[in-house]
Amino acid sequence: MTGIKGPAIFLAQFAGDEAPFNSLENISKWASDLGYIGVQIPSWDNRLFDLKKAYESKDYCDEVKGTLSKFNLTLTELSTHLQGQLVAVHPAYDTAFDGFAAAEVRGNPQERQKWAVEQLMMAAKASKNLGLTEHVTFSGALAWPYVYPWPQRPAGLIETAFDELASRWTPILNQFEECGINLCYEIHPGEDLHDGITFEMFLERVGNHNRCNMLYDPSHYVLQHLDYLQNIDIYHEKIKMFHVKDAELNPTGRQGVYSGFQPWKNRAGRFRSLGDGQVDFKSIFSKLTTYGFEGWAVLEWECAIKHPEDGAKEGSQFIKDHIIRVTEKAFDDFADSGTDETANKKMLGIE
């Protein structure tokens, strides 16, 4: 058991048009200067990464890794959150999600879905070319508009939605299997895979596919009032990735989990910078380490109050302080009596 690796940082929320966030080289130096040793790259952001080139060219992948290595950084994983979202879009969200797609397929749901699937297929090969073992995405959603059972859901509606979701993802999972990459769904509100039960419903429909796994992010469970520590006990064998993100849920007499359509800073449930919310990270790091999780602890910064650069600076040290150096010996080794099998039998009264 080697323990959790980190700290690492997901670059999606920081990429921008101004330096140092406008190129892979610049943002890598920035992250390294803050004490990060790993970065998770959003595959859709061409300022940082070219997914098509990574799919086609190992030389390009070597260039990416070379840029990171100049700043003593490791590429932890690629992300296709936005493309994965487009694998399954309910018509109610067509307009809202259309901007996630390439310009040439916007306004055409069928072509947009084909494009999204192609992106995931390329991401599998690109991850292999980069020498990675995990990849993170969203499941997309067909059933999410019906998450609350009013009006009464007609019989078979949810089953049909999950059957269709599984049929769309199975070829993608097979591609990740061919490339030797674990596909990790971020369990997230707004996705059909938004808690443990929905993940199980999907996993059953994809035939318990070996490459169907989870990204664990406790912030999304806090906002659902879900037991995020027991979740590790239940799903630790499927948890292959870890986003370190804080959150808080402060229900009042006026709002609760649904938060009354309020903006993020006014919601009962909102994301916070590390250490400013309610997540018990000491227990999370202890549980993951106990179960032998050896993946990366990756900061995903989202906060309705604090400046992102302050959140990133504080987050690096926060993760360092929570990573547990795994012991190589038992604490009571000093009291070892040095007995052998003969002595053991004598202690037990066995002739």
Q: What CATH number corresponds to the domain at position 29?
A: 3.20.20.150
pLDDT in tens, 250-286: 999 999 999 999 999 999 999 999 999 999 999 999 9
Closest to 245 (Cα-Cα) out of 312, 193, 200, 191: 312
Phi, psi of 338 (to 5 degrees): 70, 25
Percent of the chain scoring above 90 in pLDDT: 93
pLDDT in tens, 301-350: 999 999 999 999 999 999 999 999 998 776 666 557 677 888 888 889 99
- d(Cα 247, Cα 232) in Å, to the nearest integer? 17
Query: What is the model's pLDDT at position 103?
Result: 97
Residue numbers of the domain that contains 315: 5-348
pTM as predicted: 0.95
Query: What is the model's pLDDT at position 121?
Result: 98
List helix spans (H) across the chain.
24-33, 51-56, 58-69, 81-85, 94-98, 109-129, 157-179, 196-205, 218-224, 228-235, 281-290, 308-322, 341-348
The count of structural domains within the chain is 1
- d(Cα 37, Cα 35) in Å, to the nearest integer? 7
Tell whether the model's pLDDT for residue 130 goes beyond 70: yes
- d(Cα 266, Cα 268) in Å, to the nearest integer? 7
In this structure, are strands 269-272 and 246-249 parallel, antiparallel, or unpaired? antiparallel
- d(Cα 312, Cα 299) in Å, to the nearest integer? 8
Closest to 135 (Cα-Cα) out of 207, 73, 67, 184: 184
Q: Please tell me whether the peptide bond between 189 and the residue prior to it is cis, using omega within 30 degrees of 0.
A: no
